Amino acid sequence: MPASLRTDEDLRQASSNAAGRMSDTSFGDWLPRLTEHIAAVQSVTQEEFRSEAFQRELWDGEAVSATGMGQVNVSKVIADPAILDMLWDLKTQELPADSAQRTAHILTGWQRVYDAITPLVTRKPKLKMYRVFAALFPADFTTVAHAYKLRALARGMGLPKTSANHPVEIHRAVLDRLAQVLGPVSAPPAVEGVRRMALPWLLYATNIQEPADDTTVVVDAAAGTETLNPLPAARRRKGLTAIGGSLPAIRSMIEFAGEGCTREDFKAHIRAINPKLNDSSVSTVLNSLMAEWGVLRAHGDELTLTPRGEAFLESGDPDEFSDWLLTRILGFDHVLVQLSAGPKTKAALVAFLQTVNAGWTNQFGPSVIITWARTLGLVRLDKADGMLHLTPEGSEWRERIMWEPELLQSEGAGPDAEATAANAQAPQDFKRPSLTRMIEAFPARASFPPHLVARLDAGLWHNPRRHFAVLAGLSGAGKTLLARSYALALWADEKVPAHGLLTLPVQPGWHDPSPLLGYVNPLVSNTYVRTGFLDFLLRAAGDPSRPYTIVLDEMNLSHPEQYLAPLLSAMETGEAIEFHTSDEEMSGVPPSIPYPVNLVLLGTVNMDETTHGLSDKVLDRACVLDFWDVDVAAWPSWGSTDLAPEVESQARGLLVQLGEMLRPVRLHFGWRTIDDVVGYVRSAVGSGILDSTQALDHAIYGKVLPKLRGEDTHRLRVALVNAGDVLKTHGLKDSAEKVAELGKDLTETGSARFWR
């Protein structure tokens, strides 16, 4: 356990021991370098201070603290005249004599500089800021660079809890405590002042940090450096927990423990932040904060923040976790080392991680680690190539890994990593009949041209994972019939083809994935509300040897990019489809599943004023087939309509000609309309009151003409005239008169509508 420095005697004795080490030759040249650096900064002229070489040494030099984390690019900062003026003014201003006022003055300057440089850098350069201010104000800073180590030292010295304090204030408090016990010294670069500045680092290294077996960092007090101390694989935490809200949620949760709290109060706080969590999940999150993130510690029933937790609460910076995650979490260092060798697909990286721990038999554990690496800004997904890449921040963390990451040894520890990765990238094999066999399996009423079925087939299977097609165009043209017939034909050789098909009518108002994927019941803990879509999806994932097809009928009645968002993302990236954040199944629903590569999505689309257009997010992932050309003469039911031959001939001739006249303005009709017209005529003629011509007139008037509409164009005028001529030729008086009225409206008002 760390030694206590709380009493004056303990602190005096520890300081005496540390001072003796400073005189030891093993201490190296750190103090001379620190003295020289401070002297140079204190005596520099304004012209030299503004030079690039001096600023580079001020920001990047390691004389104050060799932290090994000085990779934030500050080139724009040191080239900014306004920032250089700001720093020079801070250096040359006379500081207040009062200690509290002096600290407040420095803290104000710190915030001004921080606000000025933030837009110029990609990451918060806190450690570099510390180096600069320690050199500008050496009498007010120690050489303890990391905030959480500084807080641990302050706590060990018996200083008041400082979770809400800025590190500038903690440096001052530590130095004041030393002055109280040891007496004041001259300010650096005086020798005693430099030794006092360095003393807190030795006190931390020799008295505060955990024993070497437990600490995440091994400190070399003499050199002022530190290296990470990785645990062996067998002692590491086996993965990370998925926490909804990620880092902001962690920060919000631990804020409650800033002044200490009981376990039950903290659990109640977690429930208040996320009411959907059940009791088991709340306990899981609490354990995760303690064991996986190292931000909380327990003393019996009491919880308090660790120094790391205090530092993260103050800064919100992911760097506070770098030492912990790299040395304590199995697989995290593997992710960065693997990606430092080059980009990889998520599937390949997951497969590799499964060789790190043979206990990860599904993708969930590895996927959570990768997701956290992305959340921390260490890894990014490049949508252009679909690969995971290491970010500059990830490269900085990678540079701290000075060891070869270990595999977790176990019997039968899994397959060769490269072979597994290759298999993970390849599509799974499943049975699919030949295209000829499938076309033969289409029902007689679904007599589609073979080339159309071939286009759909090619569009679905050209990508190993994205089996997604959109059938768009004329209402009633047979889009849904084609989609369903194709889906059933995929199971042509199975006993019950319908088991491989789900037809789902899309509803207006689907603004999120819950109508498809279900949701955690907010009223009944540990319960998941399932849907037919979810059950079918899980069935597909559990039966990778056969294709499963979902037909989304009229999919653009709502925005597909909203209700399909998780599937669109997963089919593109290969990442898992996530359902909930619990570690265990909920109502039989796992936390997530890999995207099923045997899943086929077929969407039908009508384009009119009641529907939505398709976004690029949908179109980029789907093959689109256009259904505007309808061959009326090829309607498969001709010859079996139960109409008298002369009546069927009359209806067929009329509909063929009328369709040809309306086709140029895309006001023609599909097979559903033909079926309805023929059915109406059959029913009307059978009554014995209407003859076939009257029946046709009424059918065309009620089924075809209501869709005639548009603004005045030459094409529409010609189409209406030609359609009227066809209707007159066939003796359809009422319909011909209505079309004539529409033509007159077009001429007189500039638009025509059946409904007016």
Q: What is the pLDDT of residues 390-400, one digit of tens each?
A: 998 899 889 88
Sign, CA torsion 616/554/465/372: positive
Q: No. of H helices and E strands in the chain?
A: 34, 18
In this structure, the answer to whether residues 39 and 177 fall within a common structural domain is yes
CA distance 406 to 410: 12
- The three-class DSSP label of residue 209 is coil
pLDDT band at 419 (very low <50, low <70, confident <90, very high): very low
Is residue 580's pLDDT more than 70?
yes
What pLDDT, on a 0 to 100 scale, did the predictor assign at position 345?
Answer: 92
- The per-residue pLDDT for 520 is 86
* Eight-class DSSP state of 237: B
**Is there a contact between 608 and 616 (Cβ–Cβ < 8 Å)?**
no
Cα–Cα distance, 104 to 97 (Å, whole number): 12
d(CA 709, CA 690): 29
| Domain limit, last residue, from 276, 304, 324 | 324
Instruction: Please state, in angstroms and rounded to a whole number, the distance separating the CA atoms of residues 313 and 746.
Output: 69
The pLDDT value recorded for residue 220 is 59
Type of residue numbered 299 = H
Cβ atoms 511, 559 nearer than 8 A: yes
Q: Per the domain annotation, does 616 fall within a domain? A: yes
The total of structural domains in the chain comes to: 5
Q: What is the pLDDT at residue 222?
A: 53
Same domain, 477 and 499: yes
Same domain, 623 and 639: no
d(CA 542, CA 181): 69
The pLDDT tens digits for 284-313 are: 788 888 888 888 887 767 888 887 888 788
Query: Is it the case that residue 484 has pLDDT exceeding 70?
Result: yes
Q: Which tokens hold the place of 297?
A: 């510690």
610 and 488, same structural domain? yes
Model pLDDT, residue 5 = 87
Q: Write the pLDDT tens digit of every residue in 670-705.
A: 777 888 888 888 888 877 788 888 889 888 888 888
Residues 140 and 60 both lie in one domain: yes
Q: Are residues 604 and 721 in the same domain?
A: no
Reported confidence tier of residue 204, pLDDT bands at 50, 70, 90: confident
Question: What is the average pLDDT score of the chain?
Answer: 83
Instruction: Answer with the residue of higher pLDDT: 283 or 169.
Output: 169
Q: Specify if 219 maps to a domain.
A: no
Q: Could you tell me if 588 and 505 lie in one domain?
A: yes
pLDDT more than 70, % of the chain:
89
Q: Which CATH number do you get for residue 482?
A: 3.40.50.300
The per-residue pLDDT for 592 is: 86
Report yes or no on 224 lying in a domain: no
Cis upstream peptide for 544 (omega within 30°): no
Q: Is the domain of 613 the same as that of 660?
A: no
**Average pLDDT of span 597-607:** 87
* Residues 79-118: tens digit of each pLDDT: 999 999 999 999 999 989 888 899 999 999 999 999 999 8
Whether 428 and 597 have beta carbons less than 8 Å apart is answered as yes
Q: Residues 546, 674: one domain?
A: no
pLDDT in tens, 656-668: 888 888 888 777 7
Average pLDDT of 132-156? 88
| Bridge partner list, 303 | 261, 298
Query: Torsion-angle region of residue 34: left (phi > 0), alpha (psi -120 to 50) or beta?
Result: alpha
Domain match, 446 and 595 both: yes
| Contact in structure between 339 and 393 (CB atoms under 8 Å) | no
3-state helix/strand/coil string of 668-684: CCCHHHHHHHHHHHHHH
Query: Which SS3 state, helix, strand or coil, does residue 381 take?
Result: strand
Residue 412 scores a pLDDT above 70: no
The answer as to whether 146 is a domain residue is yes
Residue 91 lies in a domain: yes
CB-based burial, 274-299: b 16+ in 10 Å, e otherwise: beebbeebbebbbebbbebbbbbeee
Q: Strand 302-305 to strand 261-262: parallel, antiparallel, or no bridges (unpaired)?
A: antiparallel
> How many angstroms separate the CA atoms of 420 and 76, rounded?
45
Q: How far apart are CA 285 and CA 291, in angstroms?
A: 10
Q: What is the DSSP string of 270-301?
A: HHHH-TT--HHHHHHHHHIIIIIS--EEEETT
Q: 168 to each of 175, 310, 662, how far by Cα in Å?
A: 11, 14, 79
pLDDT for res 223:
53
Tell whether 287 and 353 lie within a shared domain.
no
At 185, is the pLDDT very low, low, confident or very high (cuts 50, 70, 90)?
A: very high
- Indicate left, alpha or beta for 425 from its phi (over 0: left) and psi (-120 to 50: alpha): alpha
Most confident of 65-69, 136-140, 445-449: 136-140
Task: Print the domain residue range for 200.
Answer: 8-212
pLDDT at 20 over 90: no
Looking at residue 411, what is its pLDDT? 40
State how far the Cα of 447 lies from the Cα of 485, in Å rounded to an integer.
10
pLDDT at 737 over 60: yes
Here the tokens at position 455 are 């286009």
Residues 464, 594: one domain?
Answer: yes
Distances (CA, A) of 218 to 25, 69, 143, 215, 704: 20, 15, 16, 7, 82
pLDDT of residue 684: 85
- Whole-model pTM over 0.85: no
CATH number at residue 313: 1.10.10.10
Residue with the bigger pLDDT between 24 and 60: it is: 60
Q: What is the DSSP string of 655-721?
A: HHHHHHHHGGGT----HHHHHHHHHHHHHHHHTTSS-HHHHHHHHHHHHTGGG-EEE--HHHHHHHH
Give the residues across from 164 on adjacent strands. Answer: none
Distance CA 222, CA 503 (A): 71
Range picked from 36-50, 260-274, 589-603, 709-723 for highest mean pLDDT? 36-50
Higher pLDDT, 451 or 220: 451
Rg (CA), the chain: 37
Separation of alpha carbons 221 and 203, rounded Å: 9
pLDDT higher than threshold 90 for residue 669 = no
Q: Can you tell me the distance from the alpha carbon of 587 to that of 571, in angstroms, rounded to the nearest whole number?
A: 25
pLDDT at 86 (0 to 100):
93
From CA 710, how far away is CA 716, in angstroms rounded? 7
What pLDDT score was predicted for residue 525?
A: 65
Q: Which pLDDT band holds residue 161 (cuts at 50, 70, 90)?
A: low
CATH number for the domain harbouring residue 368 = 1.10.10
**pLDDT the model gives residue 111:** 92
- Residue burial 571-594, b: 16+ Cβ < 10 Å; e: rest: bbbbbbbbbbbbbeebeebbbbbb
Within a domain: 226: no
Give the separation between CA 327 and CA 210, rounded to whole angstroms: 14
The tally of CA atoms less than 13 A away on the side-chain side of residue 649 is: 3
Residue with more model confidence, 38 or 312: 38
Residue 9 has pLDDT above 60, yes or no: yes
Residue 425 has pLDDT above 60, yes or no: no
Residue 1 maps to a domain: no
Distance CA(490)–CA(438), nearest Å, equals: 7
User: Residues with Cβ < 8 Å from 366, sequence gap 6 or more?
Assistant: 239, 331, 349, 350, 353, 354, 360
Give the up-direction half-sphere exposure of residue 129: CA atoms within 13 A in the CB hemisphere: 22
In a domain, 218, yes or no: no
Taking each helix axis from N to C terminus, what angle separates 246-255 and 307-315, rounded to the nearest 10 degrees?
Answer: 120
- Give mean pLDDT, residues 151-168: 79
Confidence of residue 408 (pLDDT cuts 50, 70, 90): confident
Instruction: Please report, as a single letter, which amino acid is at residue 551.
Output: V
Cβ-Cβ contacts under 8 Å for 148 (sequence gap 6 or more): 306, 307, 308, 310, 311, 312, 320
